[in-house]
Structure 1
Amino acid sequence: MKSARHQPLLTVALLAITALALPGCKSEPVGGPLALTVEANDPVKALQHINENGQRCWIKSGGRDFSELRLMPELDTRVGRPRLLVLSKKSMQGLPQLVIEAAGSPVKIETYGPLASTGAGAQINADIMRWSAGAKDCKA
């Protein structure tokens, strides 16, 4: 029983040690699918804001991670959810490398696809989170 009482203290101590050790680690941001609820009521307007900034910051920037990609909006809400497709320039008719989709009120934004688990996917997710909070800059 004594060890059960000390379990929360041990957990807190381990978390504190881990938190202190993490700032020293320098690594690429980790990508993955994103599911983010934002303070917006219109999914199309939320995606338009992401599309405008994405065109400027990802596609037209000339950055290495985005040089072979194209961003295509599909915002017609009569058929399915509005979304942005990140496509390979070499295979415009192929499957998207990443889908950025929005729905609901408040708006929930989700990303998924093979590009999500790369460094570019991590940057896309970070940019979407920042832009959804009102920012317009290209880098955090």
Structure 2
Amino acid sequence: MRRFAFSIILLAATGLTACKPEAPRPAVRGQSALDIMEKVAVAANRCWFKSGDAAFRTYQLSPELSSFSGRPRILLVRKGSRDDRPVLVVQAEGTPPRLDAFGPLLNENVAPRIRQDVVRWANGRNDC
């Protein structure tokens, strides 16, 4: 049931690589966009960055969870670059919440792993 309910964040390859957000889908009761993104941000920081994961070594995490736009999100930007444009944006919005991800990093070899990690973390698991 929980797995079905979190189909809202099933980041299928076609939906995740597209720049336009997917249509809203049913959400798990009691979960807000902020709740989902807090889980994703904490796990991404721990699993991708604090662990020293080689796939993310050249990036840094920039969480923007306190958003007045109603779209809490995390950004991955190139570490030490003057170009502040994110290479990955993962955000949630709406009621029921909808999770979207986009950016050029999703065209790289690490994209399937990013999708799997984000879906797993949004579903409440915190394993790397």
Match of 1:56 in 2: 46
Match of 1:97 in 2: 87
Quick one: which amino acid aligns to residue 125 of structure 1? R
The alpha-carbon deviation at position 121 of structure 1 amounts to 2.3
1:72 touches 1:87 (CA, 8 Å); kept in 2? Answer: yes
| Structure with higher helix content | 1
Structure exhibiting the larger radius of gyration computed from Cα positions: 1
- Tell me, which stretches of 5 or more residues in structure 2 are unaligned? 1-11, 17-21
Match of 1:46 in 2: 36
- Tell me, which stretches of 5 or more residues in structure 1 are unaligned? 1-29
Structure 1 ranges of 4+ moved more than 6 A: none
The alpha-carbon deviation at position 123 of structure 1 amounts to 1.2
Question: 2 CA distance for matches of 1:106 and 1:93?
Answer: 34
Q: TM-score, length-normalised on structure 1?
A: 0.68
Q: 2:88 aligned with 1:121, yes or no?
A: no
Match of 1:68 in 2: 58
Residues 3-48 of structure 1 show CA distances to partners (whole Å, capped at 9, x for unaligned) of xxxxxxxxxxxxxxxxxxxxxxxxxxx9665259552631111111
1:68 touches 1:88 (CA, 8 Å); kept in 2? Answer: yes
- Equivalent residue for 1:85, pick from 62, 75, 80: 75
**Structural RMSD (CA):** 2.3
Q: TM-score, length-normalised on structure 2?
A: 0.73
